[in-house]
């Protein structure tokens, strides 16, 4: 007896069974090429259109294979993507941390490859596949140790037809748009291949061509929708949308790149003081406008100004010279044996005031969980001499009548941390960062792209302040107004509107990501449950047949 579950039907383009291993090499090469294409889509190469080829190639490669083969193909694509994308993680600490992180991230794509292989038998598989891409990114950005969301498809789209989707569903919706375009492209190619195979059957060939035409239209429709979605959004003006504040961004630079950055902490502080005093001299000469507030980067004072009077006096001199509050990025002792990565509002008259403590310290960089375990793999963990403690308060700070929403360094990659600051009343966003430990790598432009997506997502201007670059001023549409080079001093002064409107993405929060994740997971579970039912039904049928045969034999005996 054959049992068929009507909820799970073969797709029209489901491939015929093939001899095992016949196409594994070709599939592997296809998955690898997709990983390379995704890497080229990210900053450094900036070929954003190639991002769709990742989902497209993995979808094609995993059709008609088993779950375990899908795991392999996803792993291959993940390694070919993450190894070059995250190469900056090994610049000064050796290859092992780079390889370990890349492999860990690639394992998520491995699981994705397995689930794509399973759901390929469903109708409209291209929709479930795109949702599963979002689900994979959601898990990767949360687990383990708070996750590491670097390399999400959406972060490759700082400009282009998908960018505006961030205002409606955040970075997850941008990722979904990219993935859906890729899976529709894959489906269209498979339909054309089926039409080629059916060239001797006119009716079947015509049906395949019609399906291909519809899928091509769908492939083009997604970026068209993204382009149209841009029209009602905020434009590229920094000064429209609310009362303005004059904001200065100071990039003081570091004496040299590398892990000994902390050993240069007095020189770094002096650099930022000196740049701020030079800016004050320009203001006095009438060359630039008097700023209402000044933004310094993360680690601009790695000397605790609460404990070190010299550091406090230096910051005081800078604040009094510029006659405006400065947002200082400082390393502060405490609580207890811990350190705190802290942003301090330093007033020219009253000194230190409101603070924000980084809520997501970076594992193995700012704190080391299970230190003895990780030391077994690399003694570089001991470069983290004291662990940083996570803050608990949202980074909204009052500065000269502006509510600054602050996130520190890698926090810009985490949807929830940015969302909280906007919901908390931020009228502009600030990203304080220190990129000195990553040299002249692609880490800085990759992080800048995240800031650009956040501007669109929140409908806010974004200021990025880095010790060594790239510092930038970003308009609410994600366009770059000002940006600095790497390892060079820089100062910007811009009038920035303080906005209080909310985008749909801000109002919805994590719901679009949750809905898309549930959609993909539901499709996967449907196939799994249907398969279990078929096996049980088949087993029951076989048992009945055996029992009946046995009864007949006994009767004949």
DSSP code string of 151-219: T-GGGG-SSSTTGGGHHHHHHHHHHHHHHHHHHHHHHHHHHHHHHHHTTT-HHHHHHHHHHHHHHHHHH
Mean pLDDT score, 309-326: 98
Collapse the DSSP code of 122 into the 3-class scheme (helix H, G, I; strand E, B; otherwise coil) and give the result.
coil
Round to whole Å and give the CA distance between 78 and 73.
9
For 370-386, the pLDDT digits (tens) are 888 888 777 778 888 89
199 and 251 in a single domain? The answer is no
Question: From the candidates 275, 298, 411, 457, which is the catalytic residue?
Answer: 298
Q: Kindly state whether residue 88 falls inside one of the protein's structural domains.
A: yes
> At residue 22, does pLDDT exceed 70?
no
Q: What angle do CA 301, 302, 305 make, to 5 degrees?
A: 60
Same domain, 344 and 409: yes
> Comparing C-alpha atoms, which of 183, 176, 173 is closest to residue 126?
183
**What is the structure's pLDDT at 557?**
34
Integer Cα distance of 476 and 505 in angstroms: 14
Dump the DSSP string for 476-496.
TTS-EEEE--SSS-EEEEEEE
- Residue 258's pLDDT band (cuts 50, 70, 90): low
pTM: 0.92
Strands 244-251 and 293-295: parallel
Cβ–Cβ under 8 Å, residues 40 and 54? no
Given 502, 528, 551, the domain boundary residue is: 502
Q: Taking residues 395-419, what's their average pLDDT?
A: 98
| Angle, helix 95-119 to helix 67-85, in steps of 10 degrees | 140
Say which CATH number the domain at 334 has. Answer: 3.60.110.10
Q: Is the pLDDT of residue 341 over 90?
A: yes
Say if 108 falls within a structural domain.
yes
**Is the same domain home to 248 and 228?**
no
Average pLDDT, integer, range 32-55: 98
H or E element, residue 19 = none
**Sheet with 472-474, edge to edge strand ranges:** 396-399, 402-408, 428-433, 462-466, 472-474, 480-483
Strand partners, 351: 347
What span, in angstroms and rounded, lies between the C-alpha atoms of 119 and 33?
Answer: 22
Looking at residue 259, what is its pLDDT? 55
Position 11 in a domain: no
Regarding whether 360 and 299 lie in a shared domain, the answer is yes
Strand 339-347 relative to strand 351-357, pairing: antiparallel
C-alpha neighbours within 13 Å on the C-beta side of residue 462: 32
483 — pLDDT class (breaks 50, 70, 90)? very high
Active site residue 80: no
Q: What count of residues does the chain have?
A: 557
222 belongs to a structural domain: yes
Per-residue pLDDT, averaged over 252-259, amounts to: 78
Query: Does residue 298 share a domain with residue 220?
Result: no
User: Is residue 545 domain-resident?
Assistant: no
Asked if 380 is an active-site residue, the reply is: no
**If you search the block for the tokens 């990742």, which residue do you land on?**
54
- Catalytic, out of 409, 411, 443, 494: 409
> Using 50, 70 and 90 to split pLDDT, how confident is the model at 1?
very low
- Rounded mean pLDDT of 139-150? 97
- Tell me how far apart the alpha carbons of residues 516 and 172 are, in angstroms, rounded to a whole number: 9
The answer to whether 468 touches 251, Cβ cutoff 8 Å, is: yes
265 and 284 together in one domain: yes
Measured CA to CA, the distance from residue 189 to residue 537 in angstroms comes to 36
Both 313 and 220 in one domain: the answer is: no
pLDDT higher than threshold 90 for residue 537: no
pLDDT at 550 exceeding the cut of 50: no
Q: Please tell me whether residues 108 and 69 are part of one structural domain.
A: yes
Q: State how many domains the chain has.
A: 2
Quote the percentage of the chain above a pLDDT of 70. Answer: 92
pLDDT score, position 16: 46
Q: Is residue 482 part of a domain?
A: yes
Within a domain: residue 422?
yes
- Inside any domain, residue 14: no
For residue 262, pLDDT over 70 is answered with no
Question: How far apart are the C-alpha atoms of 358 and 297, rounded to whole Å?
Answer: 13
Under the banding of pLDDT at 50, 70 and 90, the label for residue 21 is: low
What would the mean pLDDT of 473-488 be, rounded to a whole number?
Answer: 97
Supply the pLDDT for residue 282. Answer: 98
Q: Check 105, 137, 275, 358 and give the catalytic one.
A: 358
Structural domain boundaries enclosing 213 = 24-233+510-518
Look up 358 and say whether it is catalytic: yes
Claim to verify: residue 84 and residue 194 sit in the same structural domain: yes
β-sheet bridge partners, residue 429: 405, 462
When the pLDDT of each residue in the chain is averaged and rounded to a whole number, the result is: 92
pLDDT at residue 463 is higher than 90: yes
pLDDT tens sequence across 73-87: 999 999 999 999 999
Instruction: Give the pLDDT confidence of 46-69 residue by residue, as tens digits.
Output: 999 999 999 999 999 999 999 999
Q: What is the pLDDT of residue 445?
A: 98
pLDDT for the residue 255: 86
134-146 average pLDDT score: 97
| Whether residue 336 sits in one domain with residue 484 | yes
Please indicate, yes or no, whether residues 256 and 121 belong to a single structural domain of this protein. Answer: no
462 and 485 in a single domain? The answer is yes
Residue 4 has pLDDT above 60, yes or no: no
How many beta carbons lie within 10 A of that of residue 521, not counting itself?
17
Instruction: Tell me how far apart the alpha carbons of residues 407 and 411 are, in angstroms, rounded to a whole number.
Output: 6
Report the alpha-carbon distance of residue 217 to residue 336 in Å, rounded: 61
Q: Distance (Å, rounded) from C-alpha 524 to C-alpha 440?
A: 42
């Amino acid at each position: 007896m054959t049992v068929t579950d009507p909820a799970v039907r073969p797709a029209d383009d489901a491939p015929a069974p093939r001899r095992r291993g016949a196409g594994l090499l070709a599939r592997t090469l296809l998955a690898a090429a997709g990983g390379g294409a995704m890497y080229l889509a990210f900053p450094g190469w900036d070929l954003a259109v190639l991002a769709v080829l990742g989902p497209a190639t993995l979808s094609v490669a995993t059709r008609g294979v088993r779950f375990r083969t899908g795991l392999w193909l996803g792993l291959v694509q993940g390694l070919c993507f993450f190894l070059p994308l995250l190469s900056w993680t090994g610049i000064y600490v050796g290859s092992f941390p780079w390889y370990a992180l890349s492999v860990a991230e690639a394992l998520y794509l491995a699981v994705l490859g397995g689930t794509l292989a399973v759901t390929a038998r469903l109708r409209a598989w291209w929709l479930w596949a795109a949702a599963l891409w979002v689900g994979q990114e959601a898990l990767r950005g949360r687990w383990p140790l708070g996750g590491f969301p670097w390399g999400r498809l959406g972060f490759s789209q700082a400009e282009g037809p998908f960018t505006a989707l961030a205002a409606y569903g955040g970075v997850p919706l941008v990722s979904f748009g990219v993935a859906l375009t890729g899976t529709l492209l894959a489906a269209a190619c498979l339909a054309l291949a089926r039409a080629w195979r059916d060239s001797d059957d006119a009716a079947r060939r015509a049906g395949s061509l019609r399906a291909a035409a519809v899928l091509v239209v769908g492939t083009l429709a997604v970026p068209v929708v993204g382009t149209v979605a841009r029209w009602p959004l905020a434009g590229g003006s920094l000064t429209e949308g609310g009362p303005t504040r004059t904001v200065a961004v100071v990039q003081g630079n570091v004496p040299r790149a590398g892990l000994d950055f902390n050993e240069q902490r007095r020189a770094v502080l002096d650099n930022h003081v000196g740049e701020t005093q030079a800016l004050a001299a320009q203001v006095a000469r009438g060359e630039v406008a008097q700023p209402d507030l000044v933004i310094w980067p993360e680690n601009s004072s790695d000397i605790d100004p609460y404990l070190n009077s010299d550091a406090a006096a230096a910051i005081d001199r800078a604040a009094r010279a510029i006659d405006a509050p400065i947002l200082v990025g400082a390393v502060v002792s405490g609580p207890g044996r811990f350190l705190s990565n802290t942003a301090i509002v330093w007033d020219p008259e009253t000194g230190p005031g409101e603070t924000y403590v980084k809520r997501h310290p970076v594992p193995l960089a700012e704190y080391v969980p299970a230190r003895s375990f990780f030391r077994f793999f690399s003694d570089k963990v001991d470069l983290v001499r004291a662990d940083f403690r996570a803050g608990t308060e949202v980074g909204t700070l009052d500065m000269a009548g502006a509510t600054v929403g602050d996130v520190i360094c890698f926090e810009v990659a985490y949807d929830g941390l940015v969302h909280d600051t906007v919901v908390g009343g931020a009228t502009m966003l600030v990203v304080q960062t220190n990129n000195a430990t990553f040299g002249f790598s692609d880490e800085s432009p990759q992080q800048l792209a995240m800031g650009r997506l956040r501007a669109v997502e929140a409908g806010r201007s974004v200021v990025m302040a880095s010790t060594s670059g790239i510092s930038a001023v970003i308009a609410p549409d994600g366009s770059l107004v000002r940006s600095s080079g790497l390892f060079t001093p820089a100062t910007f002064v811009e009038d920035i509107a303080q906005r209080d409107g909310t985008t749909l993405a801000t109002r919805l929060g994590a719901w679009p990501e949750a809905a898309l994740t549930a959609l993909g997971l539901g499709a996967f579970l449907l196939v799994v449950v249907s398969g279990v039912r078929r096996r049980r039904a088949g087993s029951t049928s076989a048992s009945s047949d055996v029992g009946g045969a046995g009864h007949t034999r006994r009767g004949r005996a």
